Structure 1
């Protein structure tokens, strides 16, 4: 687990005026990240970034440490409270949890969106995070513009990119299943014994089911069925590249164009389809 310290810059504006006693609250939330309960850490607070990485955020308010998305009490006061500010800095500590080691030695950190809110109440009851972020003072900040984490690389994958060209096809041949499938071999060679797994995902995020997944193309009603018929599939829909601490292995992938029977008039012309292969090791 690693830690990164920094600050976000925010602007704020109070659109509510209290004439009596008021309480001020602040809160943060990672946008579009789901909680990661797979990490055996009793303190919790982890959010899944990708297959390899999870993130946790902590901040200090009134001498107490809070874990995102926990709402923090900031201060209390009385009388009119209406103002604004700009270019303010707030310190954050981000913790990164490395769940799996990548094969190529590089872990990508995508941009991570963070929402921030300031909220005032007329009593000391702590508001929920959604309420804090619904106020007019809510702002958003990108806390990571993206980056990489380097770890030792022990394996070589060939080829780096898989491409398949079906040439010219006619719709009737595709409909009748007369288009020959294309096969491509993905090979792995490691300098030490490893257990390697691959997740295959389409551009819309679909994963292997029964060792098959459909890749949608740029033409309506035309798909590419990608399969690994001879591979072993794990319970979490990954396929085994190296098992029993092997050093060399791989998998043969098959690609077959097919038509969606629910589309009466499939598109014609050039088409493209894309997906990703994510390779992981224990």
Structure 2
């Protein structure tokens, strides 16, 4: 198959960058659904926004006080896989979101479609574009808030949320920087052979055509298009859910594409970086302070 034919086949996939870039992401005003107990120096609210004709819920934090000139910087939080029926807007990732909220960032953690009370069907973050669409509309919605500086927008992603963040960053150039924790961020051809194939399980083989196709479908094939927007990586070597090698794969791809990357390796730590949580959060906050 010629390169042109391969790219045409990839572009027909709804999850491809070409297909995602052909869409629009208008977002909407953030509608307050419920006000929660405040944090130490910030407010907390459950809000909703529109994405692809669906009402999606999210957790919004806003610093108290007078915004800086131009508005507060903002970070869209992209959570990892949680069984959709078990997901609750106000649960999980509390300490993570709190660290950035206390540091003076507006944060918005989208539920994604089909999670909790959000409309739509949850179809996963790798073969279906839905969650990526919801993340991009979350970014568009937070940029509409008059308290936010739309030129100072970043993303934070964990596990599956790392993949969503990487793909969203390559669609929306307004996302200036991203911090990815334990991300499913290896190239798609690597995911096909190296994920959930640990221990005694035989690793599937890919012929050269399928390897080329999956590589072309992966956001890793388009990293030059980041055009210098930085990415920070964190991963524990004892992660039993997402192999540490996935971080190395993306870091190698970023360097080969000439893009700036910080990569932190936490020896013996798990999927949530429980043993180094304070350190990793401090590094992430410092990263956004330097790049937003």
TM-score by length of 2: 0.22
Higher relative strand content: 1
Query: Larger relative CO (CA 8 A, sep 6+): 1 or 2?
Result: 1
Which has the greater radius of gyration?
Answer: 1
Higher relative helix content: 2
TM-score by length of 1: 0.23
